[in-house]
Structure 1
Amino acid sequence: MTQSLKVAVMGAGAVGCYFGGMLARAGHEVVLIARPQHVEAIERDGLRMETRMFDEHVRLAASSDPAAVKGADLVLFCVKSTDTESAGALIRPHLAAGTLVLCLQNGVDNADRLRAVLPGTAVAAAVVYVATEMAGPGHLKHHGRGDLVIEPSTRSDSAAQALVAAGVPTEISANVRGALWAKLILNCAYNAVSAIAQLPYGKTVQGVGVVDVMRDVVAECLAVAKAEGVQVAGDVHVAVEKLAASMPNQYASTAQDLARGKPTEIDYLNGLIVKRGDALGVPVPANRVLWAMVKLLEGKAAAA
């Protein structure tokens, strides 16, 4: 086994529980910093990991206190993009000098925003490809994939080695910005549509005209990326076509948030494309409509 790490997961929802749970199964010392209902269930029964490969209860620590990051070699930073700065400020006093904070978040600018809050701390962006949900308190359900692309840093190699040994395919890439944009474009194509319709990916693409809307969204995103000087990784059109087939039963995180009456990350997905498109003079009407519709539903859920 690789050297045992002390790992803290800040914002242990579905993504954090999956990767933290995989590291705990491999023998690393893991603490999940999560909401009280999850902490209570995990302390009592362990984290139930119902994955495509196994279904078991994994024993690991859980806390609702951000101070639980103290002494961690690796922090998996998994909070919503709306909470990046506030959560970063909560953990800042407790981070050790040699800690690596790995951003496992949607959007393209979280690592930069976090570096501003955590000066002197090693922060690396990561692109996350996993379909998961919390099926109940302390109960993780895994629907597919589970791999990471990590930005190079002084401590990325040891983190990647630990993740690979734990069964998490992990690649270190010099073009994480391009990979983050590729993931952003996938999210822009699927998240709002899944959220508005409250349907999983496989059903959304069967809707009349939806594939054409998604194609328009992708074209706008690529135009904004080009204006930004970003070299988007891979063939995004092919990736968008394949996603519904690879995760047909997955609801977008935006759809899950709306269904629970929680704020979404739409401002950091289609909303970011709108913001950057306006600043750069790139027309983005399809993204603007999807962003506006989700914001409308978000407001409706908040009022209810």
Structure 2
Amino acid sequence: MQDSVLNTQDKPLTIAVMGAGAVGCYFGALLARAGNRVTLIGRESHMQPIAAQGLRLQTASEDSFISMHTSTHASAVAGADVVLLCVKSTDTEASAEQIKPHLAAGTVVLCLQNGVDNDERTRSVLGERNPAAAVAVYVATGMEAPGHVRHFGRGELVIAPNPKAAEIVKTFGAAGIATTVSPDVRAELWQKLIINCSYNALSALTQQPYGWLVEQAGVNSVIADIVAECKSVAAADGLVLGASVDAAVQAIAQTMPGQLSSTARDVARGKPSEIDHLNGYVVRRGQALGIATPANRLLQVLVNMVQIGKSQ
């Protein structure tokens, strides 16, 4: 298949998406449509229909097929200027080990993942040869079927400073991806972590969307407890969070009332979730810093028990 549009950039980037799920496929599609060479790396069942007919991208305003290169092997990152690391947080180190032998010197790895420490964990594997940069991702997407990604809302990235930051911002912006560089991306990641801790487990345990959750008696008080614990841990960890955190938590249920969390989808499908890197991360940091986190601990334990029960 031919690319959907002609390249309009002087020097398109070569981009590899490691772990091409909903997030990676969505941003990869936009970048490919803008003329960049994009390779999706994922499971064969997912890559096969994309190789045959392109990735089906469905949004509120379009339903189209975007041609991209595909692979099922980590070696396909070879030659990439930028790698979008989109694997589950549970797979961060293993995926970094897989791509490490194939990365050219200076290739930047952007960690488009849930959680707040994936860039540190990636750097622990890759070292200084390949800069790993944290990214706060604000997008609602889902895989409707193999080779079919659906966009529900938003689509902004906040990235940590890195050697290719200016080029990334320009290239991604030309593809319609609002991208900013922030030296305080850690605070952005913590704010997103707090949002995920507030809703993901509750959505998973009830298999209900955000809007339904906040309409139930007592839920908003539970969310307030979760947020308070997260803030205490963040403060003890040296993070300065803005006053916008509470408003951001409330806004999710208002702007995405019908959205199920990614943890809810994982639990429903019997897949391992990222709960140990969401509420579980807050619990671990709380233990290390002497901060009690009973609400987050309860949610972590309950989700893990549900997952164990489904696997037996």
8 Å contact from structure 1 (residues 179, 233) kept in 2: no
Structure 2 counterpart of 1:115 = 123
How far has the Cα of 1:249 moved from its partner? Answer: 1.8
Which SS does the other structure have where 1:248 is aligned? coil
How far has the Cα of 1:288 moved from its partner? Answer: 1.1
Gaps of 5+ in 2: 1-7
Give the residue type in structure 1 aligned to 2:180.
Answer: E
Matches within 5 A, 1:46-57: 46-57=54-65
How far has the Cα of 1:233 moved from its partner? Answer: 4.5
Matches within 5 A, 1:180-219: 180-219=189-228
Structure 2 counterpart of 1:149 = 158
Structure 2 counterpart of 1:129 = 138
How far has the Cα of 1:121 moved from its partner? Answer: 0.7
Normalised to the residue count of structure 1, the TM-score between the two structures is 0.98
Alpha-carbon distance in structure 2 between the residues aligned to 1:279 and 1:109: 15
Structure 2 counterpart of 1:97 = 105
How far has the Cα of 1:234 moved from its partner? Answer: 5.2
Matches within 5 A, 1:15-30: 15-30=23-38
Q: 1:166 aligns with which of 158, 171, 175?
A: 175
Alpha-carbon distance in structure 2 between the residues aligned to 1:233 and 1:150: 18
8 Å contact from structure 1 (residues 175, 233) kept in 2: no
8 Å contact from structure 1 (residues 6, 74) kept in 2: yes
Percent identity for Structure 1 against Structure 2: 52
8 Å contact from structure 1 (residues 262, 302) kept in 2: no
- For the pair 1:83 / 2:91, whether they are aligned, the reply is yes
Counting matched residue pairs gives: 303
Q: 1:68 aligns with which of 62, 76, 95?
A: 76
8 Å contact from structure 1 (residues 182, 234) kept in 2: no
Which SS does the other structure have where 2:186 is aligned? helix
Which SS does the other structure have where 1:31 is aligned? strand
Alpha-carbon distance in structure 1 between the residues aligned to 2:96 and 2:80: 15
Structure 1 counterpart of 2:5 = none
How far has the Cα of 1:253 moved from its partner? Answer: 0.8
- For the pair 1:228 / 2:237, whether they are aligned, the reply is yes
8 Å contact from structure 1 (residues 81, 105) kept in 2: yes
8 Å contact from structure 1 (residues 129, 147) kept in 2: yes
Alpha-carbon distance in structure 1 between the residues aligned to 2:258 and 2:92: 29
Alpha-carbon distance in structure 2 between the residues aligned to 1:98 and 1:225: 32
8 Å contact from structure 1 (residues 14, 132) kept in 2: yes
Structure 1 counterpart of 2:297 = 288
Matches within 5 A, 1:252-267: 252-267=261-276
* Stretch of structure 1 that moved more, 281-290 or 141-150: 281-290
Which SS does the other structure have where 2:45 is aligned? helix
Alpha-carbon distance in structure 2 between the residues aligned to 1:124 and 1:233: 22
Which SS does the other structure have where 1:224 is aligned? helix
Which SS does the other structure have where 2:144 is aligned? strand
How far has the Cα of 1:156 moved from its partner? Answer: 1.3
Which SS does the other structure have where 2:212 is aligned? helix
- For the pair 1:178 / 2:192, whether they are aligned, the reply is no
Give the residue type in structure 2 aligned to 1:163.
Answer: F
Gap change, CA 1:205 and 1:22, over 3 Å in 2: same
Alpha-carbon distance in structure 1 between the residues aligned to 2:286 and 2:166: 35
Structure 1 counterpart of 2:3 = none
Alpha-carbon distance in structure 2 between the residues aligned to 1:93 and 1:53: 40
Alpha-carbon distance in structure 1 between the residues aligned to 2:181 and 2:243: 15
Deviations along 1:57-96, one digit per CA (max 9) or x if unpaired, are 1011111111110100110000001000000000001101
How far has the Cα of 1:161 moved from its partner? Answer: 1.1
How far has the Cα of 1:98 moved from its partner? Answer: 2.5
Alpha-carbon distance in structure 1 between the residues aligned to 2:233 and 2:61: 39
Give the residue type in structure 2 aligned to 1:158.
Answer: E
How far has the Cα of 1:52 moved from its partner? Answer: 2.2
8 Å contact from structure 1 (residues 23, 30) kept in 2: yes
Query: How much is the aligned-residue C-alpha RMSD, in angstroms?
Result: 1.0
Which SS does the other structure have where 1:177 is aligned? helix
Gap change, CA 1:210 and 1:245, over 3 Å in 2: same
- 4+ aligned runs moved over 6 Å, structure 1: none
Normalised to the residue count of structure 2, the TM-score between the two structures is 0.95
